[in-house]
Amino acid sequence: MISKIKDLFLKTFSSEIERIEKISAHGSQREYFRCYSPKFTCLAAFNDNKLENIAFLDYAKQLSSKGIRVPEIYAQDIENNIYLLEDLGNVTLYDLIELEKKEEISKRTIEEYYYKIIENLPKIQIVAGNGFDYSNAYPRKAFDRQSISWDLNYFKYYFLKLSGIEFNEQELENDFEKLTDYLLSTDCDYFLYRDFQSRNIMIKDNQPAFIDFQGGRKGALQYDLASLLFDGKADLKPEFREELLSKYISEVKKYINVNEKEFRSYFYAYVYIRIMQAMGAYGFRGYFERKEHFLKSIPFGLKNLRYLEENIKLDIDLPYLHKIFKEMINSDKLHSIAKQKLKVTINSFSFKRGYPQDLSGNGGGFVFDCRAIHNPGRYEEYKNLDGRDKEVIEFLEKEDDAKLFFCNTLELVNNSINTYLGRNFTNLSVSFGCTGGQHRSVFFAEKLAKELSQNSDIDVVLNHLEQNK
């Protein structure tokens, strides 16, 4: 894949890549790389879902032609599922929200960005949506009954089932059907971005730019606004949400006639389905795929549900669904997710077999190379032992380079742990590799696990991959 990216870059720019590095894709299944050349950078994307790639590339062209700030597409290799696109930097709206929470930037700065985004949203939905060609849409051309059914079943089976919330399936389906009828009774003839939330809005040159729109389809205006204003981890204050809702309606009135009372009623119905869709995603990624950091978003969803249940009355009666929401809100199990300790996974491994896989979904952590340390495995009396045996421990503890190596390692890991605890992160991986995964790597993994186990804010998981085969 890297070789094909380099070939496409060379063919496109008549220049070779000097350096290429993988960058975080958050919850996406796509892989992104930043490509460096002497004069500029660009991103390379790989996604083995060809139909989704075609949708993204087509939508980028259409949105850009209507004046929407999306990444420019430089080149594409559809057969190999690769494309090159504009590098919009590393700063998302969500990143800035996190900085504001730590008082590193002002609240006013965040507000100004939201105002700009609210001004852009109707342009995406109405201006760009006018005459939009959905022939390459994936997986649906409209947020229709089938799309809604998928989202509601996603919530039912991947969130309610997996989180242990009991429900009567027929009663739940009855309310689902009523909600679906209501949602589809409003005007659904606009471009629906589908995932219009803070991680998909880049901030470049003090202006918003928009990514991850490949799931777009025809639908109602209210859905994307619900995604933005009730974005779980953004955790907007109710007063600010109300201000943005009013501003959005004023912006929309520049393009079309709007019955404000009716719009607001439908808006909150779309907020409910958006929250259910998000909860389904948290459950699938967290419970099913075991990517625990997604579970940390659940309490934010519950907070939004509590606000709705206590402050909003829909123009549609959904008694059983509200009963389920109340059970979720009052679930000790779901709220306890927010109180999880930091899980530090420590691995020993052999470089001959490749790097350990990070199952948490974070894609980060440390990999320390122990091969420069004096190797007891070179001596016959230690060959059938490993780093847990007394003789190997005594051998390595006498080595000055081993002492210095561990001291430096411990300092690096502790620095990350302190930051992770302060930011409520849930996972950190630390791996020690040596030639055979038998002596040095096992010794250092054991030593670090013993040291970190003294911290009551941490759960330590120790894996010796060569010994556990």
Tokens of 440: 């040095």
Same-domain pairing of 127 and 224: yes
What is the structure's pLDDT at 137? 98
What is the C-alpha to C-alpha distance for residues 189 and 446, in angstroms, rounded to an integer?
Answer: 60
What is the structure's pLDDT at 287? 84
What is the structure's pLDDT at 208? 98
CA 324 from centre of chain: 26
What is the structure's pLDDT at 393? 95
Assigned domain for 469 exists: no
Same-domain pairing of 331 and 367: no
Q: Are 200 and 210 in contact (CB under 8 A)?
A: yes
Provide the domain count of the chain: 3
Same-domain pairing of 237 and 357: no
**Whose CA is closest to 191, among 14, 315, 70?**
70
Assigned domain for 460 exists: yes
Q: Are 361 and 285 in contact (CB under 8 A)?
A: yes
What is the structure's pLDDT at 254? 97
Last residue of a domain, one of 25, 56, 86: 86
What is the C-alpha to C-alpha distance for residues 46 and 278, in angstroms, rounded to an integer?
Answer: 25
Assigned domain for 383 exists: yes
Same-domain pairing of 329 and 376: no
- CATH assignment at residue 24: 3.30.200.20
Tokens of 104: 């590193």
* Cβ-Cβ contacts under 8 Å for 292 (sequence gap 6 or more): 286, 340, 343, 360, 361, 426, 427
Same-domain pairing of 404 and 383: yes
Assigned domain for 57 exists: yes
What is the chain's Cα-based Rg? 25
pLDDT tens digits, one per residue of 382-404 = 999 999 999 999 999 999 999 99
Assigned domain for 216 exists: yes
| Amino acid in the structure at residue 166 | E
Same-domain pairing of 117 and 29: no
Last residue of a domain, one of 275, 310, 337: 337
Assigned domain for 169 exists: yes
Same-domain pairing of 307 and 162: yes
What is the C-alpha to C-alpha distance for residues 270 and 320, in angstroms, rounded to an integer?
Answer: 18
Same-domain pairing of 451 and 393: yes
Assigned domain for 393 exists: yes
Q: Are 244 and 271 in contact (CB under 8 A)?
A: no
CB atoms within 10 A of CB 193: 26
Please report, in tens digits, the pLDDT of each residue of the chain (469 residues total).
899 999 999 999 999 999 999 887 666 678 999 999 988 999 999 999 999 999 999 999 999 999 999 999 999 999 999 999 999 999 999 999 989 987 889 999 999 999 999 999 999 999 999 999 999 999 999 999 999 999 999 999 999 999 999 999 999 999 999 999 999 999 999 999 999 999 999 999 999 999 999 999 999 999 999 999 999 989 999 999 999 999 999 999 999 999 999 999 999 999 999 999 999 999 998 888 877 778 878 999 999 999 999 999 999 999 999 999 999 999 988 877 756 678 899 999 999 988 887 777 666 789 999 999 999 999 999 999 999 999 999 999 999 999 999 999 999 999 999 888 877 677 899 999 999 999 999 999 999 999 998 887 788 999 999 876 6
Same-domain pairing of 200 and 328: yes
Last residue of a domain, one of 86, 107, 124: 86
Same-domain pairing of 197 and 320: yes
* pTM given for the model: 0.75
Same-domain pairing of 196 and 304: yes
Helix pair 400-422, 440-452: axis angle to 10 deg: 40
> Which residue segment(s) compose the domain that 11 sits in?
2-86
Same-domain pairing of 15 and 102: no
Assigned domain for 372 exists: yes
CB atoms within 10 A of CB 203: 21
End-to-end CA distance of the chain: 29
Q: DSSP labels for 199-221?
A: GGEEEETTEEEE---TT-EEE-H
Torsion angles phi and psi, residue 267, rounded to 5:
-55, -50
